[in-house]
Amino acid sequence: MRKYLFFGLLLLGMALTLTSCFIHSSLMYFEKDTEGLPNLISNPGFNAYSLDPNESLRGWSLLIEPTEPEKAQTNVVFIDGEKALHSGSSLRIDASSNKVSIISDPFRVHRYGGYYVRCYTYSSEPKGPQINMRLLTFQPDGSIDKKFKAKMQSKNEWKKITISAGFLSPGVTFGRVVIEIPPFNQGSVWIDDAGCWEVHHFKID
């Protein structure tokens, strides 16, 4: 199972690296639009579900890509029970030469749905690395349908990144949220309180 998961994440990582066509949606949704609606992301607060490191981060997968193989570090991502925004924990990424992608489990999306995506970031440094957040939607065969992206420079305070998305293609079936942290040289960054909500459903003529 782990072997198949690894190759699946590797293919997804290659797709993210080799393709660069992103959509900037003209839609605009807000935090208030999520009230009373279910969060489509499992484990949005990065709570630990097991003492086994391979099973602790339920709802998410990690893709760690060394940009300098001779300096690669494997232990750079941790569940942090001491620093958090709202929940009891967050995800900490320490400085390294790795590109780190945090990938949500798939969730159901609909062609006529409108989606609001968000996460919060914090840096130990006044000016931390730029954090990229993506919403990817997929066709039933696993091919990427559309890609939405937002980015923000992490700072020494909790900052929110958001995406508003919609107008998906016919046949679209599921989505994933991907949070990317590029290599950086000093300190740590934290990710917390992630979410994706279907906040609107367009009427079909």
Nearest to 73 by CA among 93, 57, 49: 93
Closest to 196 in 3D by CA, of 128, 127, 71, 103: 103
- H-helix or E-strand spanning residue 86: none
Least confident of 83-97, 132-146, 153-167, 187-201: 83-97
Place 11 in a pLDDT band, splitting at 50, 70 and 90.
Answer: very low
Q: Is the pLDDT of residue 125 over 50?
A: yes
Is residue 83 predicted with pLDDT exceeding 80?
A: yes
Confidence tier at 18 by pLDDT (50, 70, 90) = very low
Q: Name the DSSP class of 44.
A: T
Looking at residue 2, what is its pLDDT?
42
Contact 60, 179 (CB under 8 A): no
pLDDT value of residue 204: 57
Instruction: Catalogue all structural domains in the chain, each as residue range(s) with its CATH number.
Output: 2-201 (2.60.120.260)
> How far is Cα 199 from Cα 51, in angstroms, rounded to an integer?
35
Please check the confidence at residue 113 and state whether its pLDDT lies above 50. yes
